[in-house]
Amino acid sequence: MKLIVGLGNPGKQYEKTRHNVGFRVIDALPQQPHVIYLKPDTFMNNSGTAVKAAMRYYKISLPDVLVVFDDKDLPLGTIRFRTKGSSGGHNGVQSIIDHLGSSQFARLKIGTAPADPNEVIHDTTDYVLGKFTKEEEQQLPDVIEQAAQKVKEWIRKTPTHPNV
C-alpha cells in the first residue's frame, strides 16, 4: 500500500493558491488499487496529524509515503524529487517530520517561485497564500501533469514494504 499526500489548505478560498499545488496534483491522479491519496483536511501547519493518522489506519510504512508540495524557492515548473531531507522551511513538511519523528520519507517539490528572478518575496505567508498570476495559471496544467507523471513513476518503481 502506498500513501500519496498532497499538501494544501482546506477551503474554497485557498483552492488556487500557491500553497495548494499539492492538492491539485492529487486531483490530477487516477485512482489505483493499493494507493491512498490524501489531501489533509487540517491546515498546512498541522498536516503531520493527518499523515500520521492515515499511516496508522492503513498500516503504511514510512518508505511507502510520498509527500507532494509547493516550494517557493524553486522556479515555477521546476519539479524536484527527494528521498529524504529537511523541511526546507516548509511548515507542512516540518509538521509531518515532527509527527512522524523522521524525515525519511519521499517528497516531490513543485516550484512556485516568481518567474522574474529579480522579484523579491517580502512576506512569505502572503506569497504562498496568494494566487498565481494569469500567466502562471496558464502554465500550471502542464506543471501539474508533469508532477502527476512523476508520482505515477514513483508508485510504479518503488517496491511496497511490509505493512506495519
pLDDT tens digits, one per residue of 19-32: 999 999 999 999 99
pLDDT for 119:
82
Mean pLDDT of the chain: 94
Above 90 in pLDDT, residue 163? no
Above 90 in pLDDT, residue 115? no
26-78 tens-digit pLDDT? 999 999 999 999 999 999 999 999 999 999 999 999 999 999 999 999 999 99
Above 70 in pLDDT, residue 106? yes
* Overall fold of domain 2-157: Rossmann fold (3.40.50)
Contacts of 161-164 spanning 24+ positions with Cβ under 8 A: 161/61, 161/63, 161/64, 162/61, 163/1, 163/58, 163/59, 163/60, 163/61, 164/55, 164/59, 164/60, 164/61
Active site residues: 19
Above 90 in pLDDT, residue 162? no
- CA 164 remoteness from chain centre: 23
**Partner residues linked to 36 by β-bridges:** 3
**Partner residues linked to 4 by β-bridges:** 37, 66
Q: Go through the chain and tell me how many residues it has.
A: 164
pLDDT for 164:
61
**Domain spans of the chain, in order of start:** 2-157
8 Å CB contact between 150 and 108: yes
| Confidence band for 120, pLDDT divided at 50, 70 and 90 | confident
Helical spans, DSSP H, in the chain: 21-28, 47-58, 91-100, 124-128, 134-157
| Confidence band for 159, pLDDT divided at 50, 70 and 90 | confident
What letter would DSSP give residue 66?
E
All three cell numbers of 45, joined, read 501547519
CA atoms within 13 Å, Cβ hemisphere of 77: 10
8 Å CB contact between 54 and 39: no
